[in-house]
Structure 1
């Protein structure tokens, strides 16, 4: 089984390459601050070179057979599974995630990878369509887009990297990928190593370990890339959209969320609590889809809040190495400071605190605020921490109105004993995804994953990612002489 701490360089043009900035980054375990490895950081010129070689490599990669691309993707899946123990260890240590979270992430990564096997046949094969004038045969082709820019975040780095990389390569594109260097191994180096061992031709996938200040906007403005795939904050996503939009460059942006968990008047509270505890505290709330607001009908409010608090007190926290741990540390001290500032601001605003947690280094235990006004800063801010916001609704209709009263629209959940009613109300919630009698954190490569409003643009998932990562071309063959009017 391979160890990965030594892969501390960028993977450029098929080689593990020392960064030319002369700068390094200590990749630390957020729980105990131990150094996992030290990355050598790449330069802007190295990034530019990667895009140039990726552009050239795509010409031949885009002409490979579906069987050739599928074989490489299959070998990558085998490699990741064969090195599961080492990979889960790295994911847990880099992200501060529990053993459960690390295994879930690797499983999702493999799901996206395996799903991409079916995409290899979606390009370069034309289908005939009927169109005027007579005597013309018309074919519609999907062709590779070219080079894709990929940027992934720190929270689920391997999964959120692979859901761009695997379909992009399956569809004949090449990829220049930048993970968050805080999780540079699980978000980048391990993936690059897997494709290297699978025999991927050089420059088809390149992974840049770098400081964003060094790279600037080059990943968005380079003329060699046709699409920017980004998962991260709404603020950065808006900047990418503005910069890329001026260049008429495509974007696939999966951004922040303020996800509502709606408990209707006829809900089974105990089942709702089971879902709510998982949907709030998995990976200590550091997921774009995490429950951010609990919106509860007044008839169920007191019961739900009390049962939730009782369960929140029992959620195990501590060292992620302990298999019993659920709540581990936030990714770094800055994020922990930010979370505590939200808590102190809410206290200063007079919001009632029903469960007070504690901070232990970068680890924060559950805080529960009750009787929260949906227009408050607390309710309108994406927490990315185990901070819970309880909002009372006077009616089921008002619960939906409250849920929609946010700039975001990523995921949502509705609990009700009437599934048909739940489905009807789900269509009224302004979010890209709504789950009835479940929590908000759901992902699969076979469904359209994405948000509305400030939560993003575009959709991941097999059927929909093909539209994002290919260009459609019409080719006509005039089989009979055509008479023209002049």
Structure 2
């Protein structure tokens, strides 16, 4: 396919509300900077609660007409959006590198995953199905229709800003809803404003997508508590997600909520695993995007029989990873997102060293770039293994046997993704099904998200499922309708 040459978008630092670009009315401003170079990428006034009200009002006005739009027209616009993304792939990739600190490897992966998502969801307007039920009443016909929810509020994170925004935005809109999107401030462009430009170029009606860039402390609670949205899709930390859930279900206006939260994903290496394959997977699964992925390999649990060989292979592979400029094609470790994130990681490293943990790999931070760190023989209750680190730190935990490995994998409050390595398929399936998690991959990394497979977690990793017909259920409501010819025999 020939890719047309298109002029880059001119980002003016404005909110996108009702199809128009308008200045935010908060007294606060956003200073958006490249985490690798420190260069200012964008400065803009943030959104106020009044701007948020305008965005929700615009979405509410647009939604009914959009819901009534023919499925073929919705599909045509979604396919056009996919073509726009394809044509602007390099521009999108460059923004992901500059704004989120993505390596070129990760940014290309994210752009391609987003493109596949849009293409998959383009068929969704034709996949909405109802049911005809058998009625208990003579002469009555009973139907169940799937209806749009109305207006959907989406709060997205900074680590996979484009994809994790679009994962909620695209199915919601494909199914007849209108959306107000609030991206993370660290990735206001790739998580929000760039998406608005893509929708605008594709020709979506005004108000179907609205983007507000605002401080969580100023508009965050109001975003969730607002009367208009009937559904809040939140992706982010468990602590913030708890507050979102409380407001969404305990406030004046009760609404549906989907929470995709933190994880402490284990990768388990059983005693019959291909150790070289498992070591390679552990390094990729942990250090992709500097470990800043909710389903990243947060800890590796290794059977004691194969631990020495496994640890040596991991250390050798990590020592060869290129660290530095994320724009270079072969860089694996780029910058973490901001100074606060780096400070937290450095504290964990200091604590690990202070506790006498065996360090297998490491190095000094340069700016926001932290070299990959690996610690061996880590106790299961030490913070590196017990908590989500969200950075390039990998703890190796030793298990005495398979049952001990399973107990370690299920320990803790999270249950997002997981992986197990074994050369016995039956053993792998049996082990995988005993893990309390939303996703388990046998002989693969914990990081995977496919547009037709259910994505979501258990325990404190969240509520709800994304992708495919699972998203169809999340972003529509069941509406029971009956029809009766003539009159009933009522008791009075």
TM range (shorter): over 0.9
Equivalence for 1:157: 161
Tell me the distance in 2 between the aligned counterparts of 1:5 and 1:263. 49
Count of matched residue pairs: 485
Equivalence for 1:360: 366
Tell me the distance in 2 between the aligned counterparts of 1:119 and 1:424. 34
Deviation at 1:413, TM superposition (A): 0.3
Q: Structure 1, residues 346-374: CA drift from partner, whole Å, max 9, x if none?
A: 22233222223221110111111111111
Deviates more, 1:452-461 or 1:64-73: 64-73
Secondary structure (helix, strand or coil) at the match of 2:158 reads coil
Residue 345 of structure 1, aligned match among 351, 362, 382: 351
> What is the TM-score when the length of structure 2 is the normalising length?
0.96
Deviation at 1:197, TM superposition (A): 1.4
Deviation at 1:72, TM superposition (A): 1.2
Deviation at 1:211, TM superposition (A): 1.5
Equivalence for 2:179: 175
Deviation at 1:4, TM superposition (A): 3.3
Task: Say if 2:460 is the partner of 1:479.
Answer: no
Q: Which runs of 5+ in 1 are unaligned?
A: none
Tell me the distance in 1 between the aligned counterparts of 2:100 and 2:331. 14
Task: Say if 2:193 is the partner of 1:189.
Answer: yes
Equivalence for 2:237: 233
Equivalence for 1:264: 270
> What is the TM-score when the length of structure 1 is the normalising length?
0.97
Note the 1:440-455 alignment, pairs <5 A. Answer: 440-455=446-461
Instruction: Let me know the Cα RMSD of the aligned residues.
Output: 1.3
Note the 1:22-37 alignment, pairs <5 A. Answer: 22-37=27-42
Note the 1:266-281 alignment, pairs <5 A. Answer: 266-281=272-287
Equivalence for 1:115: 120
Residue 111 of structure 2, aligned match among 92, 101, 106: 106
Q: CA contact under 8 A between 1:5 and 1:185: conserved in structure 2?
A: no
Tell me the distance in 2 between the aligned counterparts of 1:163 and 1:360. 33
Equivalence for 2:64: 59
Secondary structure (helix, strand or coil) at the match of 1:42 reads coil
Residue 435 of structure 2, aligned match among 429, 440, 454: 429
Equivalence for 2:3: none
Note the 1:78-477 alignment, pairs <5 A. Answer: 78-123=83-128, 126-247=130-251, 248-477=254-483
Deviation at 1:146, TM superposition (A): 0.6
Secondary structure (helix, strand or coil) at the match of 1:327 reads coil
Q: Which runs of 5+ in 2 are unaligned?
A: 1-5
Deviation at 1:5, TM superposition (A): 5.1
Deviates more, 1:456-465 or 1:55-64: 55-64
Q: CA contact under 8 A between 1:237 and 1:253: conserved in structure 2?
A: yes
Q: Structure 1, residues 260-291: CA drift from partner, whole Å, max 9, x if none?
A: 00000110101111211110111010000100
Q: Structure 1, residues 13-49: CA drift from partner, whole Å, max 9, x if none?
A: 1101111124321211101101122233111111011
Residue 53 of structure 2, aligned match among 48, 57, 68: 48
Tell me the distance in 1 between the aligned counterparts of 2:10 and 2:22. 15
